[in-house]
Structure 1
């Protein structure tokens, strides 16, 4: 359990991992290597199949001469992956991924099929003293079999798929099918992974006080680090999100029930459960929607004509007035995100500012403080504000350039505080480097 956590009883879950001592925001609560991971097919050839480093001038990838479908940054990763599972899967890989059985799977299940195949490639290891502490912890995870009895097909020879191996696959899938994590670099997914200790210790909340990030290093397995989003008091349970808290309430509940077998009773879910009906927001572009957006910005960010005010404690959604309840409708966030994404890349930038500030207000209202998505969006908003100051004066639609620069600096400072709390993660050249570059550009003006 380490120096920071202990297991206490929990009223509904198996246990609660609580803080043994006060934990400061930005602290690493736990750091564990992956037990098993599998690269997304879209990342094949772009990343090393062992350590997931991106192909670059500094990182050259060599292709497996057997299957020609796996790539490695060097012999360290290649030998490790060969020893663990690739020697059992190599010659069957291409036929397996081309099979109708595999092609009929969802993208998520395709990755899980390969991940499961890796786990059962050496079936004898599960019943011997070769099993690691992580493996023993994995077998201690609760089983949650799929209601439809589904188990992914295996990328192994027919001879290897004995009755014992198939039974082992069913047993392991009932544990990892609801416990694997989606690995990401700066919010961009690249793999699935199994981290048994994190699955065993950390319960879910839609208002978490911690979040997971994934550390990459050449020739080393991926590591998960769990970071405190805010100060955590001694005795407080440490929680992480199993899914995006910004998903609509019923979508979250359905996913948690199907995939994890429980109903969430966190503060956000309790608040949304009390709402009898979420009103439908006006159509995007309507004057009524512009009024709603402006009210949300004022509620979350204060008077943006002066300085953006960002709360530092969670729970602003619990103070949401009835007039703003339409922002919780399942159609509101997707439409707002699409509007910002389109205008922030294609222009007009002046329209992107309105939707970008509204999106920031939504994130601040819903997510807990220092949630990475807030920082990433604040950085994108700062970049959009900078782009607007660099356009032709006639395109600024009467906007005050100094005010835009002030807003850009405010958004950038906010992004920096959130992203520095979360710390570096994933690939090199990430958002913290972008913050540094944009800070220098603003300083030169």
Structure 2
């Protein structure tokens, strides 16, 4: 890696180190406990998905609510803000560059032909090419505290389809030089921007060059990123440790969902990032390819597999739901359970849980939900946020069963069901409190508080 690369004070717990294959790695300067805030990184630029326009402030991403009524830009009537502060800051930083052209741009055939995510990228790119500092293509001082410099320091990786999104700028400024700059910039950020989410629901895209430059990918990551929404301020990425990280250990993030099938992950990583992943999960799954297909859902054979994966990952669930804290649980999986890695297993199981948790019978939903929780515990590392989110949904299903169908499960008494429900909410709380508050107010942590109070009163 480049020896001149400096480290921003926004991440004092990280040091840069050599990597045998990649350009470098972010290593822990000290032992980082579970739930530690590793880095705080403001967005260089961000944009809402089209579906979120009018629901969130275009500057700080605050969600409209009873206490926040968004106001529109009087010029384009297409951008919304919490108040004058947000509108003034967005105008000075970026909106004045695209306001006059925005409505004609989004109505154009070029824009309409793009996917929703590429439409967001088109606006992000339009912001970037009008940044004076972006024109200095030689500004590669390898200073990660300068976001534009960090952006230029990213490797160029043009999209396989050759797409460079159109620009939301007047035709007079779209010179050959401007379009060349757009191509250069997009080759650096197009595969490096981040999907912004609140309570794990996507709402926009953000450019965080510092994070892109520092953190390598793993399907068994030891950290995850969340997004902090603060009124009147740009969104900030916070990188959080999932479990204790040793001094000198590389800090990694997932570039995609580790629960995706092995071949799907590899194809996506090659197409978007031009590398083959050799993490523990990929190495293990490559070694068991081709994965045998599971039996059809509903058959006795698959029910046995479901019961076995629950027992393997969660232990004796008749007592409590325990939290395995060792990453790489999949490496100890018995061979007869390998069909859970087949591309058909997770979708069919998720569909069964979704259908029965809404429509009943709740007893079937609990069984599917526990199996899904076991699958997540096997695939994801400890404290991965999706585990906590699913444990919360499972808690709600158990609560519904307790309230509506207390005699539906063969075997457990009402007291046992109550213990199961309390165990599930404690599991969810442990994982999601480790991840910490993020995104919009309320959400899963507030739901956990309410459920805990309800269960305590029983």
Report TM bin, short chain. Answer: over 0.9
CA distance in 1, matches of 2:133, 2:233: 25
Which of 13, 34, 40 is the equivalent residue of 2:49?
40
Matched residues in 1 for 2:408 and 2:366: separation?
13
CA separation in 2, counterparts of 1:41 and 1:100?
Answer: 16
Which residue of structure 2 aligns with residue 9 of structure 1?
A: 18
Question: Is the Cα–Cα contact under 8 Å of residues 16 and 201 in structure 1 kept in the other structure?
Answer: yes
Instruction: For 1:37 and 1:124, locate their aligned partners in 2 and report how far apart those are by CA, in whole Å.
Output: 17
Q: Give the equivalent residue in structure 1 for 2:182.
A: 169
Consecutive aligned runs of 4 or more in structure 1 exceeding 4 Å deviation: 392-399
Q: Which of residues 157, 165, 168 in structure 2 aligns to 1:152?
A: 165
Shift of 1:306: 2.1
Which of 117, 121, 128 is residue 112 of structure 1 equivalent to? 121
Asked whether 1:375 is paired with 2:388, we answer yes
Task: Give 1:87 shift.
Answer: 1.3
Name the CA distance, whole Å, in 2 between partners of 1:192 and 1:179: 10
Q: 1:341 and 1:23, CA in 2 relative to 1: closer, same or farther beyond 3 A?
A: same
Equivalent residue, structure 2, for 1:336: 349
Residue 3 of structure 2 is matched in structure 1 by none
Q: Distance in 2 between matches of 1:358 and 1:424?
A: 27
Residue 378 (structure 2) pairs with residue 365 (structure 1)? yes
Counterpart for residue 424 of structure 1: 437
Cα contact 1:206–1:241 (8 A) shared by 2: yes
- 1:53 counterpart = 2:48: no
Aligned residue for 2:101?
A: 92
The match for 2:264 among 251, 255, 265 is 251
Q: What's 1:20 paired with?
A: 29
Comparing 169-178 and 308-317, the one that deviates more? 308-317
Deviation at 1:123, TM superposition (A): 4.9
Q: How does 1:288-367 map to 2 (within 5 A)?
A: 288-367=301-380
**Matching residue of 1:64:** 73
Equivalent in the alignment of 2:4:
none
Following superposition, the deviation at residue 289 of structure 1 comes to: 1.2
CA–CA distance in structure 1, aligned partners of residues 75 and 370 of structure 2: 52
Moved more, 302-311 or 62-71: 302-311
Preserved contact between residue 134 and residue 148 of structure 2 (Cα < 8 Å): no
Contact 2:366 2:397 survives alignment (8 Å) = yes
Mapped contact 2:362–2:405 kept (Cα < 8 A): no
Deviation for aligned residue 1:308: 2.2
**Distance between the aligned counterparts of 2:394 and 2:133, measured in 1?**
53
Q: Is the 8 A contact 1:215 1:225 kept in 2?
A: yes
Closer/same/farther in 2, CA of residues 169 and 123 from structure 1, 3 Å limit: farther
Match of residue 215 from structure 1: 228
> Which among 404, 410, 415 is matched to residue 428 of structure 2?
415
Q: Secondary structure at the match of 1:390?
A: helix
The one-character-per-residue Cα deviations of 1:81-113 (angstroms, maximum 9, x if unpaired) are 112221121122122112211111122211111
- Is the 2:26–2:214 Cα contact (8 Å) retained in structure 1? yes
1:83 to 92, 102, 105: 92
User: Secondary structure of the residue that 1:212 maps to in structure 2?
Assistant: strand
Structure 1 position 395, deviation (Å): 5.0
| Contact persistence 1:121–1:156 (CA under 8 A) | no
Q: Give me the whole-angstrom Cα distance separating, in 2, the residues matched to 1:432 and 1:35.
A: 29
SS in 2 for 1:235: coil
CA distance in 1, matches of 2:130, 2:221: 36
Contact 1:281 1:329 in 2 (8 A): yes
For the residues of structure 1 that align with 2:282 and 2:22, how far apart are their CA atoms? Answer: 17
- For the 8 Å contact 2:322–2:427, the answer to whether it is kept is no
Instruction: For 1:256 and 1:393, locate their aligned partners in 2 and report how far apart those are by CA, in whole Å.
Output: 46
Aligned-partner Cα distance in 1 for 2:416–2:35? 31
Q: Which moved more, 1:433-442 or 1:279-288?
A: 279-288
Give the aligned partner of residue 457 of structure 2.
444
Please tell me the root mean square deviation across aligned C-alpha atoms, in Å: 1.6
Q: Deviations over 1:246-296 (max 9, x none)?
A: 011111111111111111110000001111310111111111111111111
1:407-441 residue CA offsets vs partner (Å, 9 max, x unmatched): 11111111111111111000001111111110000
Aligned length, in residue pairs: 444
Partner residue, 2:398: 385
Contact 2:224 2:241 in 1 (8 A): yes
